[in-house]
Structure 1
Amino acid sequence: MKQNFTVRQGALDGVEVFLSVAQHRSFRRAAAQLGMTPSAVSQAVRVLEARIGAALFIRTTRSVGLTEAGERFLSQAKPAFEELVAASEVARGLGQRPTGLLRLSVPRAAVPILLEPLIASFCQAYSEVEVEIAATKELIDLAAEGFDAGIRLGQFVDADMVAVPMTPPFRLVVVGSPAYFAGRTQPRHTDELRQHACVRWRRSNGALALWTFNDSGHPIEIAVAGPLIASDFSTMLGAAVEGVGLAQVPEPIAAEALKTGKLVQVLEPFAPMTPGVFLYYPSRRQIMPKLRAFIDHVKRRRGDLGNVAGET
Structure 2
Amino acid sequence: MKQNFTVRQGALDGVEAFLSVARYRSFRRAAAELGVTPSAISQAVRVLEERIGAALFTRTTRSVGLTEAGERFLSRAKPAFEELVAAGEVARGLGQRPAGLLRLAVPRAIVPLLLEPLIASFCKAYPEVEVEIAASKELVDLAAEGFDAGIRLGQFVDADMVAVPMTPPFRLAVVGSPVYLAEHSRPERPGDLRQHACLRWRRSNGALALWSFNDNGQAIEIAVSGPLIASDFPTMLGAAIEGLGLAQLPEPLAADGLKAGKLIHVLEAYAPVMPGVFLCYPGRRQIMPKLRAFIDHVKSRTTGDGKVPIQVDAKRAGARKKG
Q: Report if TM-score (shorter chain) is over 0.5.
A: yes
Give the residue type in structure 2 aligned to 1:76: R
Give the residue type in structure 1 aligned to 2:39: S
Give the residue type in structure 2 aligned to 1:275: P
For structure 1, the residue ranges without an aligned partner over 5 or more in a row are: 1-7
Give the residue type in structure 2 aligned to 1:111: V
1:167 is matched with: 167
* Aligned-partner Cα distance in 2 for 1:231–1:307: 23
Give the residue type in structure 1 aligned to 2:255: A
1:250 is matched with: 250
* Aligned-partner Cα distance in 1 for 2:9–2:187: 72
2:184 is matched with: 184
Matches within 5 A, 1:203-242: 203-242=203-242
1:10 is matched with: 10
Deviations 1:121-151 (A, max 9, x none): 3223323222222221111100011111111
Q: Is the 8 A contact 2:105 2:151 kept in 1?
A: yes
Matches within 5 A, 1:292-307: 292-303=292-303, 306=307
Give the residue type in structure 2 aligned to 1:226: G
Shift of 1:79: 1.0
Q: Secondary structure at the match of 1:204?
A: coil
1:288 is matched with: 288
Q: Is the 8 A contact 1:113 1:308 kept in 2?
A: no
Q: Is the 8 A contact 2:168 2:309 kept in 1?
A: no
Q: Secondary structure at the match of 2:122?
A: helix
* Aligned-partner Cα distance in 2 for 1:42–1:97: 39
* Aligned-partner Cα distance in 1 for 2:177–2:107: 24
Give the residue type in structure 1 aligned to 2:57: F
Deviations 1:207-228 (A, max 9, x none): 2111001112221110111122
Report the CA distance shift for 1:68/1:296 in structure 2 as closer, same or farther (over 3 A). same
* Aligned-partner Cα distance in 2 for 1:192–1:9: 75
Give the residue type in structure 1 aligned to 2:150: G
Q: Is the 8 A contact 2:302 2:309 kept in 1?
A: no
Q: Secondary structure at the match of 1:142?
A: coil
Deviations 1:176-195 (A, max 9, x none): 22333342122122111001
Give the residue type in structure 2 aligned to 1:279: L
1:46 is matched with: 46
Shift of 1:43: 1.1
Shift of 1:292: 1.6
Does residue 309 of the first structure (1) align with residue 301 of the second (2)? no
* Aligned-partner Cα distance in 1 for 2:47–2:183: 91
Shift of 1:291: 1.2
1:128 is matched with: 128
2:320 is matched with: none
2:321 is matched with: none
Does residue 26 of the first structure (1) align with residue 26 of the second (2)? yes
Q: Is the 8 A contact 2:164 2:278 kept in 1?
A: yes
* Aligned-partner Cα distance in 1 for 2:61–2:55: 17
* Aligned-partner Cα distance in 1 for 2:302–2:156: 20
Q: How many residues align?
A: 305
Q: Is the 8 A contact 1:108 1:234 kept in 2?
A: no
Q: Secondary structure at the match of 1:295?
A: helix
Shift of 1:245: 1.7
* Aligned-partner Cα distance in 2 for 1:306–1:33: 53
* Aligned-partner Cα distance in 2 for 1:269–1:289: 45
Q: Secondary structure at the match of 1:103?
A: strand
